[in-house]
Amino acid sequence: MHIGILEDDLDQQQLYRLWFGATQHSCTYYGTAKDFIEGAVKERFDLLLLDWMLPDSNGKIVLGWVRENLGWEIPVIFITALDSEADIVEGLRSGADDYVTKPPKYLELLARIESLSRRTKPQPIVKLGHYEINMDMRGITLRGKPVELTQKEFELACYVLQNPGKLMARVHLLDKLWGLNADVDTRTVDTHISRIRRKLSIAPENGWQILPVYGYGYRIERLDGVGAAS
């Protein structure tokens, strides 16, 4: 699991480095909200640990940014010295998945991370009509036959196939899969959409269609009565 940690106390950062260095988790550390946000648009995390009191902002504001820009799928744990019942309730109601008061306990923190990981871990096999996505093997089959895809094609196909009916802007797909600061433009999205449509034979006979939305992006639709999962 790759963890993003927002903590301005250097001693606490060092403690985390010691703790997580003995685990299989990898971590990236940030000392300010500004640095965290800049990093989070470039790097993909499986879980976030956020301090509440920061030199340039506060954890609640950062959490609001996370939910608005990174979504609700990524689990977030507040780790803070604020320990009143009102603070804990406010943190959880703001969108945190868990709340730990300082000083955190090593084994308890690892257990909470593992618990959230189990709850949010995607199913390894996702069946969508004639398509089957293997998350562990990072592969997709069509009618039982594997389809050769690049990493970005796989990520894009997974995203659009699991969001039928959703209107997806080109800039949203660009941000979601390449990051805001990637050295690519929206034409890259069009190219990859064309490739996955061709490689995966996304068409009515397979129960799906991708519809371009002029000047905006795309919408993928699952056709009723066709390609339903068995």
Per-residue exposure over 211-224, b if at least 16 CB sit within 10 Å of its own CB, e if not: eeeeeebbbbebbe
Domain boundary among 66, 90, 120: 120
Task: Judge whether residue 123 has pLDDT over 70.
Answer: no
Task: Judge whether residue 224 has pLDDT over 80.
Answer: no
Considering the domain architecture, whether residues 173 and 217 belong to the same structural domain is answered as yes
Enclosing domain of residue 144: 125-222
CA distance 68 to 148: 33
Considering the domain architecture, whether residues 12 and 68 belong to the same structural domain is answered as yes
- CA within 13 Å, CB half, 210: 21
Looking at the chain, the whole-number percentage of residues with pLDDT higher than 70 is 94
Give the pLDDT score at 129: 87
Domain boundary among 73, 103, 120: 120
Considering the domain architecture, whether residues 11 and 104 belong to the same structural domain is answered as yes
**How many domains, in total, are found in the chain?**
2
Cβ proximity of 105 and 114 under 8 Å: no
Give the pLDDT score at 207: 92
Domain boundary among 104, 120, 136: 120
**What are 19-37's pLDDT values in tens digits?**
998 888 899 999 999 999 9
